[in-house]
A = this chain, B = another copy of it.
Amino acid sequence: MKVQIDDVDQKILSYLIKNARIPFLEIARECGISGAAIHQRVKKLEDAGIIDGSRFIVKPRALGYEVCAYVGIFLDHAHQYKQVVGRIEAIPEIIECHFTTGNFTFLVKMLCRDNQHLMDVLINTLQNVPGISKTETFISLDQIIDREIRL
């Protein structure tokens, strides 16, 4: 699972991380090697699992999702982990879920249309999951940074 990444791979990734639709030939010109070589390296990186697909980034606001919140989740008992994970996965408003050290068992990131919607998910969905004892909500009033790892 450990794959060697050289400088050229890094350079390729640094372009693709910023713009998934950049033509391979443009990267090739920047790197001074042929398009076929870029093609092969990208394929290698994909096969190795280093690249995990690509995505267009859509602003949640534009789709009517005005509220972003993090929710810390407490469990009654640790052994309810699996069932709770299953229930959480079924909640579409949750776009990230981490199993964390510290006070919470889970820390999840949610996108909701408005505060009413957020409350609905908290009260009617999350708190109804067997095993979840309580939650702690942090509403993101402003997302100041959102970027990829620096290569």
CB atoms of A56 and B20 under 8 A apart: yes
Give the chain B neighbours of A147 by CB distance below 8 A.
Answer: 95-96
Binary per-residue interface labels of chain A (1-42) against chain B in the complex, 1 for a CB within 8 Å, 0 otherwise: 001010000000100111111000000000000000000000
A residues with CB within 8 A of B: 3, 5, 13, 16-21, 48-60, 62-63, 65, 68, 70, 85, 88-89, 92, 94-104, 106-108, 111, 136-151
A60 contact set on B, CB distance < 8 A: 149
| Chain B residue contacts of A63, Cβ below 8 A | 5, 50, 149, 151
Complex Cα spacing A53 to B147, Å? 12
Given A21-B21, A88-B145: A59 touches B52 (CB 8 Å cut-off) = yes
Closest to A13 in B: B58
Minimum CB–CB distance for A134 against chain B, Å: 14
